A and B are shown apart, each in its own frame.
Chain A
Amino acid sequence: MKCPEAVEWMHRYLDHDLNEEETSLLFEHMRSCEECAETFALLRKLSAQLEDLPKVVPNYSLVDAILPQLDEIDRARREGGSAAEEIVLPMTAVQRDADAGQGGMLPSRRSLRRPDAGTGMRRSRIYRYGALGVAAVLILGVFIYQYEPRTVSDAEIAMDTALESANKQSSATNSADDAASNAQLFSDDTNTGAPGAGDLDTPVSKDVVPPAEDPNTDGTQERIAPGDAPDSGSPAVTPGNSGTSDKSPSEPNQANHGSSGSPSVPNGGSNGAPAQGPTSPGAGNSDSAGDPETPDILENSIVDQQVTFDNPREKYGIASFNIWTSPDGAFEAEFKDGHLYVYRLEAQERKLVADQVIDGNWVDGSWSESGHIFTYETEIEGTPVIHTLYAEQAAADAAKRTQP
């Protein structure tokens, strides 16, 4: 027997794991091996001391101490709704049978409780899956919602390019209409702006053409920075204009179409200018529609606009729609709060010459060429009524009144 093996046997001896034969072999070895004998003496001493460790007992009854808790567990089990029992339930199948035998009440209790617990669990599971499903649908919905607009806008662009060539011819006429409507839209401004410019004939065309022309030069030919667009004073056209300059980098072909027309909104502008050309007295403007020198005209138009805006009453964009200045700048008509006021414009102030109550809905009004007659249209119960106001006469009447 070798020493390491002997040590292992010593341990086994101490643990009562050696049979008689092994025990005698071990002791035989130790008689001849002093070292092993010493090791064994120490081990036996340790083992004896370990066995002599005091058999401690709790200094109070642990079971008595936990009896309230045990009662609580029993009550929870009886009530059946406790989470504690739900945890215990799967592991105590034997005990459930045991419960049946414990008392007469128990089987009925169990038969009552089990279906409830079963349906309750099933119901809660259904709710849980339902909630998960709802959550999934919501998340999916968010993705779809966020994804869709991009698809639509892409489709728009695709559609635009597809229609682009097909609409080349037809868009020319359409855009001519657009330009005409633009001209109508700005005609009021034109009228008011004209006296400021001091020229009765050319400013009309100048003011009409540049807003229509600007998109043309910006979008298709010169590609002036979008920042210039607001200066042109045509907010209705500007969004389409800047949209063109946004689109064009992604579609290089668009630049090739050049003055012949690019799709949708800018189209109206680009073709609008030549269409406007023949009708407007200012021939130079219409000629320069396709001209590289258009920036100059643009600047002119800006100057004109600025001149127009020098009139203090023209600063208030929307309000100016209800104010009409006569072409000669002598009178001003204003529709306000159901009244039509006509003023005579003098050096720094305006003098009220007429105040007419307007029945029905206000439709529109305009000055005559001479600037002495203001014609306006109202609508009473669906029927348009044309009224005429003689400003000179009213002014003379007013002058008489103030000088009795």
Chain B
Amino acid sequence: MVEQGLIRAAQTGDRDALITLLREIESHVYRTAYYILNNEQDAHDAAQEALIRIYTKIGSYEEKAQFKTWVQRIVTNICIDKFRRNKPTVSIEEHEMVFQGNDSVEREVMSGYLAEDIRSAIEQLPDHHRSVVVLRYLQDFSYNEIADSLNLPLNTVKSYLFRARQQLQHLLQDYQKGGVSG
């Protein structure tokens, strides 16, 4: 949780405060980018772009919104834009790699899904469903915080999240069956 005083200092032109603020949020920014994009390099690029945007637009942040939801809105927007550009090539490659690397799946199935499977299953979700899941599980955001971040109605956030979980279950069950049979 970023201190409100630090944000105010950054907004009043304190460059050191602003840099400190960016250091505090950079891992949160990166994590969202990483799970939305499912690619380390893209995540670095997107996170840096988001941090620069936060640096230049810190003055437009208003305190009536939570700072963390303001930050997450910036990063998810950048990621979704970026992801849409890269999706066709990246997702297919990643998908095939997952299937090829499933040798030890029988043993792993008993203890649960592979983290890798989960990541690639998340990647299969539509943009907003994916963003909702990432904010819920990687940022521990509440429905309201997700709604603020993505500028979506609360009920929409709930239904996206519920459907996203169901879809993930189906996808992961498919991966498991595919792994066993293959």
Contacts and interface: CB of A to CB of B under 8 A. Distances in A.
Nearest to B27: A57
Contacts of B168: 46, 50
A42 interface: yes
A50 B129 CA distance: 14
Interface string B126-170: 000000010011100011000000000000001001100100110
B133 A93 contact: no
Contact of B12 (A46, A63, A70, A98): A98
B51 to A, nearest CB: 6
Contacts, number: 121
Nearest to B163: A11
B169 A15 contact: no
A63 B59 contact: no
A208 B36 CA distance: 100
Contacts of B23: 61, 63
Chain B binding surface, main DSSP class = helix
Contacts of B52: 66, 69-70, 73
Contact of B118 (A16, A50, A55, A96): A50
Contacts of B51: 62-63, 66
For chain B, the bracket of interface size reads: 35 or more
A58 B165 contact: no
A287 interface: no
B165 A11 contact: yes
B161 A94 contact: no
B161 A15 contact: yes
Contacts of B30: 56-58, 62
Contact of B48 (A11, A46, A65): A65
B70 interface: no
B52 to A, nearest CB: 6
Contacts of A43: 165, 169
Nearest to B10: A98
B169 A46 contact: yes
Interface centre among A8, A50, A52, A96 (most CB of B within 10 A): A50
14 contacts: A46-B172, A47-B165, A49-B115, A50-B136, A50-B137, A53-B115, A53-B137, A62-B26, A63-B23, A91-B57, A95-B13, A96-B59, A98-B11, A99-B13
Given A62-B26, A70-B52, 10 more contacts: A46-B168, A49-B112, A50-B133, A50-B137, A55-B27, A58-B43, A63-B19, A67-B19, A92-B56, A101-B13
